């Protein structure tokens, strides 16, 4: 199926690396999307993303400490500014107009450095106002998967697998709403679950709202009986057609009284650990899926087809 080929969504945002790990005046290498990338932070704090290939003769550019804020090719010493322009050639006075490294729009959100796979973003990533707010607790994680990125994104529209793969105590589930959000080029899916937890006498209504932005990142909300519990970000980064690095952020706004505030961090850590184990359970299934065969979807699985169509528009 083309949906699971080595063609990845265009005009989309991808999380590349942890923002906190990228120091000023330094750069790191990221290989993804069929590209060799260099992610750098200027002395001013601004992040940049460029291809890690010199346009002169194709040499690989170095990563690590920048030299006076520039990238210097080890082959012939050509020097490049972090906007991709060639700043100097040691043995030439005139710099060709084509002597330029391909660069990408780059921003920081939710604790990650993001790149946009186009010349100019057609949409923004959603604001996560809780992130960084006083009392807010956030956890970040990454897990490498033998899976196509679109297998990960499909999970947002697949309630039935919660009982089988994750053994969740689901009494019932229904897709409550699916809507397009044009301003963010997004598809939003809300699923209601009735959950039977052993420590509660009555069932708990859990609502999971997942917004697929562009065709590469899910920003969502988890609510318990109408109260906001957690916000989450799931950002699969395709390394190849069958290998994905899944970056995730879990955010919990301050909900407990100040005297019990010390419990917020352990709660988020426990939830993040649960998400980690659930992703590992998914990973075992994804690794063995035959992605070439046509699928037989039931009418109740229409949301899966809907999310597939949304992704296909961006290929």
Residue pLDDT, tens place only, 200-245: 777 888 888 999 999 999 998 888 776 767 889 999 999 999 999 9
Is the residue at 15 inside a domain?
A: no
Is the residue at 233 inside a domain?
A: yes
The strand pairing partners of 51, in sequence order, are 37
For 70, residues 6+ apart whose C-beta sits below 8 A from its C-beta are 79, 80, 81, 82, 87
Q: Are residues 96 and 218 in the same domain?
A: no
Q: Are residues 51 and 98 in the same domain?
A: yes
Q: Which two tokens stand for residue 169?
A: 């105590």
Query: Mean pLDDT, to the nearest integer, of 105-109?
Result: 96
Read off the CATH number of the domain in which 81 is found.
2.102.10.10
Q: Are residues 199 and 267 in the same domain?
A: yes
Q: How far apart are CA 107 and CA 41, in angstroms?
A: 11
Q: Are residues 223 and 75 in the same domain?
A: no
Q: Are residues 75 and 203 in the same domain?
A: no
pLDDT at 301: 84
Q: Are residues 62 and 154 in the same domain?
A: no
Q: Are residues 31 and 149 in the same domain?
A: no
pTM of the model: 0.91
Read off the CATH number of the domain in which 253 is found.
3.90.380.10
Q: Are residues 165 and 260 in the same domain?
A: yes
How buried is residue 104: exposed, middle or buried, by Cβ count under 10 Å (0-12/13-18/19+)? buried
Could you report the per-residue pLDDT of 50-103, keeping only the tens digit for each?
A: 999 999 999 999 999 999 999 999 999 999 999 999 999 999 999 999 999 999
pLDDT at 50: 97
Q: What share of the chain is helix, strand, coil (3-state, %, to 5)?
A: 20, 40, 40
In this predicted structure, the answer to whether residue 260 has a pLDDT above a threshold of 70 is: no
The whole domain housing 50 covers 21-110
Is the residue at 119 inside a domain?
A: no
Q: Are residues 172 and 221 in the same domain?
A: yes
Q: Are residues 296 and 147 in the same domain?
A: yes
Q: Are residues 172 and 256 in the same domain?
A: yes
Q: Are residues 98 and 168 in the same domain?
A: no
How many folded domains does the chain comprise? 2
pLDDT at 6: 87
Could you report the per-residue pLDDT of 1-14, keeping only the tens digit for each?
A: 678 888 898 889 99
């Amino acid at each position: 199926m083309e949906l699971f080929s080595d063609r990845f969504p265009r005009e989309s945002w991808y999380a590349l690396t942890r923002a906190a790990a990228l120091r000023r005046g330094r750069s790191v290498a990221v290989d993804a999307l069929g590209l060799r990338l260099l992610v750098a932070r200027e002395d001013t704090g601004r992040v940049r993303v460029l291809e890690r290939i010199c346009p002169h003769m194709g040499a690989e550019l170095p990563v690590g400490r920048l030299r006076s804020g520039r990238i210097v090719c080890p082959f012939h010493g050509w020097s490049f500014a972090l906007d991709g322009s060639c700043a100097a050639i040691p043995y030439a006075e005139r710099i060709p107009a084509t002597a330029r490294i391909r660069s990408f729009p780059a921003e920081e959100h939710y604790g990650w450095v993001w790149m946009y796979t186009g010349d100019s973003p057609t949409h923004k990533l959603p604001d996560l106002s809780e992130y960084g707010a006083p009392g807010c607790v956030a956890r970040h994680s990454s897990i490498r998967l033998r899976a196509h990125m679109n297998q990960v994104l499909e999970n947002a529209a697949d309630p039935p697998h919660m009982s089988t793969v994750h053994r969740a105590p689901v009494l019932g589930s229904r897709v409550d709403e699916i809507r397009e959000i044009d301003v963010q080029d997004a598809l939003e899916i809300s699923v209601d679950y009735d959950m039977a937890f052993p420590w509660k006498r009555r069932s708990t209504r859990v609502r999971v709202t997942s917004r697929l932005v562009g065709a590469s990142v899910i920003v969502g909300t988890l609510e318990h009986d109408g109260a906001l519990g957690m916000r989450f970000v799931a950002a699969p980064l395709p390394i190849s057609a069958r290998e994905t690095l899944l970056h995730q952020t879990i955010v919990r706004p301050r909900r407990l009284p100040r005297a019990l505030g010390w419990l917020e961090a352990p709660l988020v850590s426990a939830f993040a650990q649960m998400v980690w184990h659930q992703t590992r359970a998914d990973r075992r299934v994804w690794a063995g899926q035959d992605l070439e065969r046509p699928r037989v979807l039931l009418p109740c699985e229409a949301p899966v087809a809907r999310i597939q169509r949304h992704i296909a528009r961006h290929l």
